[in-house]
Structure 1
Amino acid sequence: MRLIAGKATALAAVLAALLLVPQPASAATQLIGNGTFNSSTSPWAAIGQTTVAAESGRLRVDVKAIVANAWDAMVASPTTAALNPGKSYTLSFDAYSTVAFKARATVQYTATPSSNQSLATDVQLTTASKRYSIPFTAATASSTAAEVTFQLGGSGGTPVVRFDNVSLLETQTTRPTALYVSSQSNPAKWAAANQGTTEAQAIQANIANKPIFEWFGNWFGDITQAVDSYVGAAQAQDKLPMLVAYNIPNRDACALHSGGGAGDATGYHNWITDFAKAIGTRHAVVVLEPDGVAAAGCVTKIGKDPEDQYRMLLDATQVLKAQAPNTWVYLDAGNATWIAADAMAPLLVKSGIANTRGFSVNVSNYITTADSQAYAVAVNGYLSGSVGAKKYVIDTSRNGNGPYSDSTPEDNWCNPPGRKLGTPPAQQPTGAEYVFWVKVPGDSDGPCGISDEPAGTFDPALAMALINGTS
């Protein structure tokens, strides 16, 4: 497909200089030499009927003439190292066009570009910037010096296309053992914005420097961008990213403070598919829909059928298993005081627990680790006769002082006073596979208890109360 001899020769020379001693990619090795275009377009080359320029931190590509073939108008950049045949990679990028059309993205060997492409996929560009995240496996070849191309011909017009944040990373061969600490968590961002204060120092030292789950829902307009950016940042550090999928229709049907979610089953299927594809073949941990199983019965209050909730969860487990095969998924099982173990087990079965690694307990709650573990063991006892005992994880983010008790137990889950941080996240030698901080310490449960903030909003006073174990 590469018919422009002069440009191909020039690009081959660049590749030869870069790849004199090919080095295997690693989890932390970015294989795109310039994916942010802050000052130049180099080493990206315009090929055929295109021109390129760096514009406001993006790569601007002008298609100069109407051409029939996609490869007659393209841009290409050599990878900074040869590919490793049989290994998994993820190509990610942001793109938009002056007109919507179907472009083509490839990762191909420069010695045989038209016949040996590890990745060759159509990409539907739109007039709004979108994130694209595409996993692939490097093909076998005798010469594995590679390039990334965006082929923009064949649209019937002369579009202007802009690219940004182009990334190519090899998936870790072995699963990372260290958990990812994000500088973009709510506590970390608050501490960074309030440096020098006593509160910021305490929150940074006790919460923000810990591996905390990132929650994903419909508050992200581009779920692919949100998930890919988070997982990619963890991958670049060879750390294990931890995500909560929280977008099922009729979400939080019992308490309503975190209500919302996808509009219907089709919308949720599409959302969880985009979520899973954005993780791709990379390693990750996902807690699937906190309270989704336990709160399903509450949807009858709004005229919905709990069985529909279980079917949507079943579908989500199937999608994650197929699209994110290296992700350990834990389907949420509520907490030890909500639904009895013998009743919870069959609900987990119909919700797809067989497709997952296991289940989570105590997410966003305060039950002690010992009681949570006893509950998980009991659930497993009932699962063993059907799908078999599963791995389980416990949320210890706020259970340091155990549950709160007063005369109105129905709201004791909502920012209660006198609670405390629990055991920091870590893999466990026995019992629970992990203790995690799934709930972000300091994020409000809603305008209730000792916080007036909306659900999911970081409240530094609430965080300090958890650090000090006081009100």
Structure 2
Amino acid sequence: MNRYGRAGVALVLALAVTACTGNPAPRTGRDRPEGQTSSAGSPDSGTVRFYVDSEGAAAQEAGRLQREGKAEEAALVRRIADRPNAVWIGDPDPLARVADITEKARRAGQVPVLVAYHIPDRDCGQFSAGGAASPDEYRAWIGRFAEGLGGRPAWVVLEPDALAHVLDNCTRGGKAAERLDLLRGAVETLKRQPGARVYLDAGNAGWIRNPDEWIDPMRRAGIDRADGFAFNVSNFFTTEESVAIAGRLSEGLGGTPYVIDTSRNGNGPLRGAQGDDAWCNPAGRALGAEPTTRTGHERVDAFLWVKRPGESDGECHRGEPGAGQWFHAYALDLARNAR
């Protein structure tokens, strides 16, 4: 998921030095004291306490390593397990899992980050293929997802890659219009829940040649009804590179806020890599900035770990674990390489 697309790293670096430095009206409250939160988990109220998944793959692995006396490896994996990671939801019926996670988070005084990931023809049939079998099935699925949220607070990242695959022609013809309609409907359905903040995925700095080309599709996909967009999901571009491109996209949308996936961007992308090597478990990467709403950027609502560090991007033609499966050696490298 979240390949570089056709854009080159040279373009990203060029845009980085010409990033927007204007001062739009503040949309968030990242510089307020720690500990001020609201029931809806809004960044306007200060630093949000995001949900830490104590039952995820990283937590289970850390426990196993500790029991086996591998204290050094356990400590490295704890650098992942003890931080807030998003929970990806692609279950055939999402209601029970969404309700369970949001209720656990509510009891802990935390706000979960959930990834809705079930769009028809998901990932264009590649490593993360799957999703709903039809538009009607997807609409029903989103309805169940929203029902699972109830009134509990949650941040939802909506359908990584779905919009980008419209822009790179993976989703063609009438299917493109259909997908944009599904995304808009999903935003509207989720936003009927009072505790939901919704961020429409908008690709990454390597996928966008010209941010202006994304404005109309994003509006058709419901960005006007969402709380903002998500950027760099499952990719490795640095925060500076992401802000350079996402900032221009935000400006074109009238100052729309956004969140950045910093889970594995500590060393940036693997420069010079091509094809799958660039985005699928590239070597030498590192954990990035920990999840927080104190980003130092007016339009950046949060740094989030949307991609769960240590879980594979896919088999990558090298015998690696399948997409979403725990990749122990890779997890250790991400933690070791982190600053």
Aligned match of 2:214 in 337, 340, 344? 344
Q: 1:403-457 CA distances to partner (integer Å, 9 max, x unpaired)?
A: 1123524541111001111011111253211000000001101001776100010
Change (3 A) 1:303 1:446: farther
- Does structure 2 conserve the Cα–Cα contact (< 8 Å) formed by 1:299 and 1:305? no
The secondary structure found in structure 2 opposite 1:269 is: helix
1:298: how far off?
5.5
- Does structure 2 conserve the Cα–Cα contact (< 8 Å) formed by 1:331 and 1:359? yes
Higher strand share: 1
Partner of 2:96: 225
Partner of 2:199: 330
CA distance in 1, matches of 2:94, 2:116: 11
CA distance in 2, matches of 1:301, 1:359: 20
Change (3 A) 1:216 1:468: same
Aligned match of 1:456 in 302, 324, 328? 324
CA distance in 1, matches of 2:72, 2:127: 27
TM-score for the superposition, normalised by structure 2:
0.80
CA distance in 1, matches of 2:307, 2:182: 23
- Does structure 1 conserve the Cα–Cα contact (< 8 Å) formed by 2:261 and 2:307? yes
**What residue identity is the alignment partner of 1:403?**
P
Aligned match of 1:188 in 52, 59, 63? 59
Aligned match of 2:230 in 356, 360, 381? 360
**What residue identity is the alignment partner of 1:174?**
S
CA distance in 1, matches of 2:140, 2:251: 34
Q: 1:327-353 CA distances to partner (integer Å, 9 max, x unpaired)?
A: 111100000110221112222111000
Gaps of at least 5 residues in structure 1 are 1-171
Aligned match of 2:78 in 205, 225, 231? 205
Partner of 1:395: 261
Count of equivalent residues: 291
Once the two structures are overlaid, the 10-residue window that deviates more, 402-411 or 311-320, is: 402-411
Partner of 2:121: 250
Partner of 1:284: 154
**What residue identity is the alignment partner of 1:235?**
R
1:301: how far off?
6.8
CA distance in 2, matches of 1:398, 1:173: 28
CA distance in 2, matches of 1:199, 1:460: 13
Say if 2:181 is the partner of 1:311: yes
Higher helix share: 2
Q: 1:265-299 CA distances to partner (integer Å, 9 max, x unpaired)?
A: 10000001100111011111010011111012466
Aligned match of 2:302 in 434, 456, 467? 434
The secondary structure found in structure 2 opposite 1:433 is: strand
- Any residues of structure 2 matched to 1:370-389 within 5 Å, and which? 370-384=240-254, 389=255
Larger Rg: 1
**What residue identity is the alignment partner of 1:284?**
A
CA distance in 1, matches of 2:318, 2:80: 19
**What residue identity is the alignment partner of 1:401?**
N
**What residue identity is the alignment partner of 1:267?**
E
- Does structure 1 conserve the Cα–Cα contact (< 8 Å) formed by 2:142 and 2:189? yes
- Any residues of structure 2 matched to 1:17-28 within 5 Å, and which? none
The secondary structure found in structure 2 opposite 1:286 is: strand
TM-score for the superposition, normalised by structure 1:
0.59
CA distance in 1, matches of 2:267, 2:58: 21
Higher relative contact order (CA 8 A, sep 6+): 2
CA distance in 2, matches of 1:173, 1:406: 44
CA distance in 2, matches of 1:273, 1:376: 29
Change (3 A) 1:281 1:353: same
Change (3 A) 1:294 1:408: same
Say if 2:291 is the partner of 1:425: yes
Partner of 2:26: none
The secondary structure found in structure 1 opposite 2:296 is: coil
Change (3 A) 1:359 1:407: closer
CA distance in 2, matches of 1:466, 1:451: 19
Show structure 1 runs of 4+ deviating over 4 A.
297-304
Say if 2:103 is the partner of 1:237: no
